[in-house]
Amino acid sequence: MASTGASSSLLLFTSSVLLFAALCAASVQYAPGLSENFYDESCPQAAAIVRSYVLKYLTNDSSFAGAFNRLQFHDCWVQGCDGSVLLNSTSTNSAEREAHVNFGLRGLKEVDEIKAALEYACPGVVSCADLLILAARDATSIAGGLSWSVGLGRRDSRVSNDLMADGNLPFPVFPFDILVDNFARKNFSAREMVVLSGAHTIGRSHCNGILPHIYNFTGGNNETDIDPTLNPGFAAYLKRNCPFGNRDNSIPIDSTSGKFDNAYYKNVLNGKGVFITDSTLITTPLGNSIVSSFAEGDSTFFQEFADAMVKMGNLGVLTGSQGEIRQKCQFVN
């Protein structure tokens, strides 16, 4: 039997280790200029305002969880997390939101409503770029995923161009190797690409991105030309809901589309990926291995997704005197 002194030393050592582990787990690396307490004095209610509106939207329509996730990704992947995806086109410029890859982008009106509430509470303080980061985090946690700490202090870009969006964002027809290359250009690994693909566990999609999966798959202009890896029953379901040439219908992109879970990976393994970029994840041994691991009940998907979202939020941020704080997210000041 250990002595009292030995037991006390062991307890002290164990407590120290646990405290160190907790501190390590809590420490998040943010881009220079960002901090978790950025608005503590200038607008302490900012995060609560964003969350209250996101909760309202998801209560009325759970698919908005996917919309807010998509907005963060489609913003950050093009010249960084700077709110540029929200800007309107002008008479001399076609903005990102008009890009082919941004077809059916949702949540823009809702973001404007949140921004108006932030401006009422704290005029000229909270950026549209930070709003998107907070909304994506809150949408994920409200839908059942993990929450995570976010660094804040981004400023908004005055520049937005549709060609930049089409040149940076992955299209839903990309095969595995092209997806890996696209993510590598942003310093994300193949595993992180598969992790972030898991955002398709929530939300809806217009048929625009689904049609190439179920018609003319090999480019032969053939309506019966379907991706052969698709589950036949699921392919028939997609065809019923996305008739040939219909870009505007929308369907859930996951069997539990209102809930953040790992059902997406189970669906992909069973030939029920909505997009080509979903089905392609299991066409290589590497992708298949990662998808299979995330399909397990005790997978690390939730934590890895949170970590990847934090990492994405660091891309190309504007801070300090760069950019501006837009009064309205659709327009430069």
Within 8 A by CB and 6+ apart from 119, the residues are 327
Query: Which residues carry a binding-site annotation for heme b?
Result: 200
Q: State the Cα–Cα distance between residues 265 and 133, nearest whole angstrom.
A: 25
Taking the CB of residue 82, how many other CB atoms lie within 10 A of it? 28
Orientation of helix 301-312 relative to helix 128-142, angle to 10°: 170
Query: Which residues carry a binding-site annotation for Ca(2+)?
Result: 75, 78, 80, 82, 84, 96, 201, 254, 261
Dihedral sign from CA coordinates of 61, 62, 63, 66: positive
Which tokens hold the place of 112?
Answer: 């404007």
Which tokens hold the place of 20?
Answer: 């160190």
Using CB atoms within 10 Å of the CB of residue 13, give its burial: 0 to 12 exposed, 13 to 18 middle, 19+ buried: exposed
Using CB atoms within 10 Å of the CB of residue 48, give its burial: 0 to 12 exposed, 13 to 18 middle, 19+ buried: exposed
Q: Is 74 a catalytic residue?
A: yes
Q: Which of 74, 100, 206, 213 is catalytic?
A: 74
**Which bin fits 99, alpha (ψ -120 to 50), beta or left (φ > 0)?**
beta
Report helix, strand or coil for 143.
coil
Are 181 and 160 in contact by the 8 Å Cβ rule? The answer is no
Are 202 and 132 in contact by the 8 Å Cβ rule? The answer is no
Within 8 A by CB and 6+ apart from 92, the residues are none
Query: Which residues carry a binding-site annotation for substrate?
Result: 170
Are 128 and 86 in contact by the 8 Å Cβ rule? The answer is yes
Residues with a catalytic annotation lie at 74
